[in-house]
Amino acid sequence: MNPLIKELPVYLAVAVSSLFIMCFFVHAMVGGMVSEQTEYELYGVICAIDLAAMGFMARDVIKRRRNAGQDSGAPR
């Protein structure tokens, strides 16, 4: 079985917890100081930034594993 499939539950748990923490951070910092609509917009912006960062990190992991598989020391 592909190792990335085995690790998928871990990556999903990290992604969900990261999004939860980022949204809570926004609520803790600006909750009550701005309108509810502005707070929801900030949730969206922060979550989009967080998802993009996680996507780049996942892409990097996949890329490094593919390169590591090619450089396994086998003669070319």
In a domain, 76, yes or no: no
Q: How confident is the model at residue 1 (pLDDT cuts 50, 70, 90)?
A: confident
In a domain, 74, yes or no: no
pLDDT, greater one: 38 or 75: 38
Q: Which residues contact 75 (CB under 8 A, 6 or more apart)?
A: none
Q: Which residues contact 40 (CB under 8 A, 6 or more apart)?
A: none
Q: Is the pLDDT of residue 22 over 80?
A: yes
**Tally of structural domains, the chain:** 1
pLDDT at position 5 is 81
pLDDT at position 8 is 83
Range of the domain at 43: 3-66
CA separation, residue 36 to residues 44, 46, 48, 68, 72 (Å): 13, 15, 19, 48, 54
Residues 24-66 have pLDDT tens digits of 999 999 988 999 999 999 999 999 999 999 889 888 988 888 8
In a domain, 54, yes or no: yes
In a domain, 15, yes or no: yes
In a domain, 61, yes or no: yes
In a domain, 23, yes or no: yes
In a domain, 72, yes or no: no
